[in-house]
Structure 1
Amino acid sequence: MTDPTLARANGRPFNEMRPVTLTPGVMKNAAGSCLAEFGDTRVLCTASVEEGVPGWRKSAHAGWVTAEYAMLPAAGNRRTPREYRGRKGRSMEIERLIGRSLRAVTRLDRLGEVTITLDCDVIQADGGTRTASITGAWVALHQALMGLVDAGRLPRLPLTDQVAAVSAGIVDGGVLLDLDYPEDSRAEVDLNLVGTGDGRIVEVQGTGERTTLDRAQLDALLDLCQGAVAHLTELQADVTGFRPAR
């Protein structure tokens, strides 16, 4: 299933992630922020807290967590035009994924009627921008929520767990973890997994880009991803100090 001789950038084995760095507190004026680096992919994640909730949410008597995602024009190997409202497509799909992922571990009923928006701006893209966005956005969200707790606006942190994400795929017939752009662009199968710190799955996005896959291959991809999510949540815990009761 996996060819151990398959050459990868920097000599990575099939089951190894790129170097990951999560740097919190990089934006002075944001309620929370994190620079998420997955190899050469870099995403700046910021959290903003605003009073009130969307009109359709008012009757819920709870808060809201949402996200926006964009790539800077020079993030990739060729200039990408800026995206304006009404011209979103792929970005809208990704920001909805980020929002769903963060809400899966947030007690909105304990948040109060405030809206927290996570802005994920890709400053350099080399594959896995959505997974880096989710992983970094959780760190920024944690920082913003801790600010509300420290200010006495919340009695306790309304997070039930961590959430992180990683990609995997089948490339040249082999199962690989955390695809960079050259691997992703020629992947036969592409999969993204969002998971929690206690090993639960929030969402799986998998597509046979150039071929189909069998159950054994799917299981291998899921196993790789869940192991990597455990690693990412440890990194999140290291930079935030968050350790939920298990």
Structure 2
Amino acid sequence: MARENRSNDAPRPIEVSTAVIPEIQSSVQYRCGGTTILCIATLEEGTPKWMTPGQGWATADYQMMPYSVTPRLERVNKSTPDGRAIEIRRLVGRALRAGLDLSLMPGYTIRVDCDVLHADGGTRTASINATTVALGLLVEQHLASGIFATDPRRALILAMSAGVYQNSLRVDLDYQEDSGASLDLNLIGTATGEVVEVVGGCENGPVAMEVLQEVIEAARGGIAQVGKQLSDRIAPIRP
């Protein structure tokens, strides 16, 4: 058994609260185990100057709050860039755009902010899953308002970590498992098994391709389970 009395192939239970910022319907608090993310999706008029006319854009930000871990983190500012946060922000942004048809939201930018309130492993994957919940709320809001004539989503993107810890294959690694894993990765895809991105590596030397494939398949199974847990929390794509 893995920690928290869950089997090695079981993700942590998920708790989702919505409209946690009263003025913002598409604000989400996403909790899986000891990891908690505040995720807010908003819509802005305008797109970056380099964008092709007639297209929309989507981007994400990510940061960890000072007391999300112990000891306290220093607040990040423009003079002290956080390389890890930049890498994760780009990852979440790519996942966000993978699920959108940007031609269906011309002249608008979707912006997602992910703030880690408490970290116990899996903040990347939790941020992506929270983004998909918040995005669904935002789209529903602006379909109702008439800003979106058509649902711009083309897929519901989810994510899951998996790895080898103490010679056992596990999904949804907590901090202890993640920090001690000999191989770990994050898989981004859909609940039906399609893949968007795989990010990971080995800590203790190379492994056989068969082992990597087993870890990827475990993560795919984890994504399917997360899809079931969130089935009543993610607004379905409107035809």
1:78 corresponds in structure 2 to 71
Task: Give the % identical residues.
Answer: 36
Kindly provide the amino acid, as one letter, of the partner of residue 61 in structure 1: G
Q: How many angstroms apart in 1 are the aligned matches of 2:103 and 2:37?
A: 29
TM-score, normalised with respect to structure 1: 0.92
Q: How does 1:16-31 map to 2 (within 5 A)?
A: 16-30=10-24
2:9 corresponds in structure 1 to 15
Off by >6 Å, runs of 4+ in structure 1: none
Out of 142, 153, 156, which is 2:150 matched to?
156
Out of 76, 93, 96, which is 2:90 matched to?
96
Q: CA contact under 8 A between 2:137 and 2:235: conserved in structure 1?
A: no
Q: CA contact under 8 A between 1:72 and 1:123: conserved in structure 2?
A: yes
Aligned partner of residue 242 in structure 1, secondary structure: coil
1:176 corresponds in structure 2 to 170
Out of 47, 59, 69, which is 2:62 matched to?
69
Give CA deviations for 1:191-241 in whole Å, capped at 9, x if unaligned: 100012332100001211223221221121111111111122233331134
Unaligned runs of 5+ in 1: 1-6
1:108 corresponds in structure 2 to 102
Q: How many angstroms apart in 2 are the aligned matches of 1:123 and 1:177?
A: 22
Q: CA contact under 8 A between 1:161 and 1:197: conserved in structure 2?
A: no
Q: CA contact under 8 A between 2:42 and 2:110: conserved in structure 1?
A: yes
Kindly provide the amino acid, as one letter, of the partner of residue 66 in structure 2: P
Q: CA contact under 8 A between 1:106 and 1:160: conserved in structure 2?
A: yes
Kindly provide the amino acid, as one letter, of the partner of residue 119 in structure 2: A
2:124 corresponds in structure 1 to 130
1:4 corresponds in structure 2 to none
1:41 corresponds in structure 2 to 35
Q: CA contact under 8 A between 2:151 and 2:237: conserved in structure 1?
A: no
Q: CA contact under 8 A between 2:92 and 2:128: conserved in structure 1?
A: yes
Kindly provide the amino acid, as one letter, of the partner of residue 188 in structure 1: S
Q: How many angstroms apart in 1 are the aligned matches of 2:226 and 2:5?
A: 21
Q: How does 1:216-227 map to 2 (within 5 A)?
A: 216-227=210-221
